[in-house]
Amino acid sequence: MTATVDTVTSSSANPAESEFELVPFDIYKDIHKGIRGELFRVTALAGTIDPGERCAREGLAETSAKLFELLVEHANHEDDYLQPSIELHAPFFAEVIASDHARLEARIAQIQAQVERAATARSAEQRGRVHHVYRELASFTSAYLEHQDFEERQVMPALANVMGVDEVLAIDHAIVASLSPDQSAWALSVMLPAMNIEDRVEMLADMQAGAPPEVFTGVWALAGSILPPADYQALGTRLGIS
């Protein structure tokens, strides 16, 4: 008989009082760190650009479009590869996630339209429209962080309780295998700067051991282009790369 989780645990009412639980493998951890970093970065950008500079407003539109593309792709990967297991083992959680994804994607479309209007706004409207975009991005970030917190505190432990590490890893591997080279590079460029050194070592050591040498060489070069030199050197030392 398949074990299921049908209700939100009591920790959701007051997460600060819930007991810390480290799952054997957290499928959300690295990509969620990267997404948080991008949400904060783009929101801060919207709050600091010169609203009177059209190139700055167009740059914000381009940057936010890349962020939103990442968020939609991430949700699609969850829907395709993770949601079936959640529906099987934690159907109530599956309903919440499906609702969240639809709601957040609708907001993404609204905000991107607002960003594009700001990019082409007349001089009298530029400052107001850019500030409106900033507030919308800040509000969206708050909502998205709440969604991530639900997945990490509720969904992942529930799945870990009924699925083995191998099953969860298989889902993660399937998601990674589905990415195009460009998608993989973009995901790594978002995740690596947001990760601590132990996270980076864990991820890259797996690639170093299992990926074709030319693939790891490309990943290592990418890491060098996006990490501060001291972080890159420390990572290389731990990986045994001179």
Mean pLDDT by 10 residues, the chain (242 residues): 41 53 91 98 98 98 97 97 97 97 98 98 97 98 98 95 93 94 95 98 95 94 97 97 80
153 and 61: one domain? yes
Which residue range is the domain that position 103 belongs to? 26-179
Determine, yes or no, domain membership for 133.
Answer: yes
Determine, yes or no, domain membership for 170.
Answer: yes
62 and 168: one domain? yes
202 and 153: one domain? no
Please identify, among 133, 151, 179, the residue that sits at the C-terminal boundary of a domain.
179
Determine, yes or no, domain membership for 186.
Answer: no
Helices (H), the chain: 29-48, 54-77, 83-89, 91-119, 123-150, 156-162, 165-178, 181-194, 197-210, 213-226, 229-239
The total domain count for the chain is 2
229 and 139: one domain? no
pLDDT at 22: 82
Determine, yes or no, domain membership for 19.
Answer: no
